[in-house]
């Protein structure tokens, strides 16, 4: 379990830090997803550069994206919503959607 790292903050997957896997072995953790969801969905913002490549779906996306403050990683709004759905359904994650 502990050799999986969040692509956005570099922290390891632990019981206290739930993660959702992207399509290609990439991962986003609960705390990063909270920040990304808040920025992209709640605040309708996004600070990823134009033509960014989403780290989770590996696509060049036109929709707003969140840029990791710690690493060269971006996530698109579609992946944030998908990941929030997955993590929100997993009761053990303890994660809930920011409002
Ligand atoms: Zn993270
Ligand atoms: Zn994506």
Identify the CA nearest to 78 among candidates 96, 65, 97.
65
Q: Mark the residues whose beta carbon lies below 5 A from ion ligand 1.
A: 6, 8-9, 29, 32
Per-residue pLDDT, 46: 95
Q: How much distance in Å is there from the Cα of 69 to the middle of ligand 1?
A: 10
Q: How much distance in Å is there from the Cα of 9 to the middle of ligand 1?
A: 4
**Residue range 4-56, pLDDT digits in tens:** 899 999 999 888 899 999 888 899 999 999 999 999 999 999 999 999 999 99
Per-residue pLDDT, 32: 98
Neighbouring CB atoms inside 10 A of 17's CB total 16
Report residue 3's pLDDT band, with 50, 70 and 90 as the boundaries.
confident
Q: How much distance in Å is there from the Cα of 32 to the middle of ligand 1?
A: 4
């Amino acid at each position: 379990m502990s050799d999986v790292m969040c692509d956005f903050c570099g922290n390891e997957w632990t019981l206290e830090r739930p993660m959702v896997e992207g399509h290609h072995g990439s991962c986003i953790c609960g705390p990063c997803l909270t920040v990304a969801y808040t920025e992209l969905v709640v605040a309708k913002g996004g600070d990823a550069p134009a033509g960014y490549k989403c780290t989770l779906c590996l696509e060049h996306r036109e929709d707003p994206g969140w840029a990791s403050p710690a690493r060269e990683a971006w996530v698109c709004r579609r992946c944030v919503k998908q990941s929030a759905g997955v993590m929100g359904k997993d009761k053990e994650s303890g994660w809930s959607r920011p409002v």
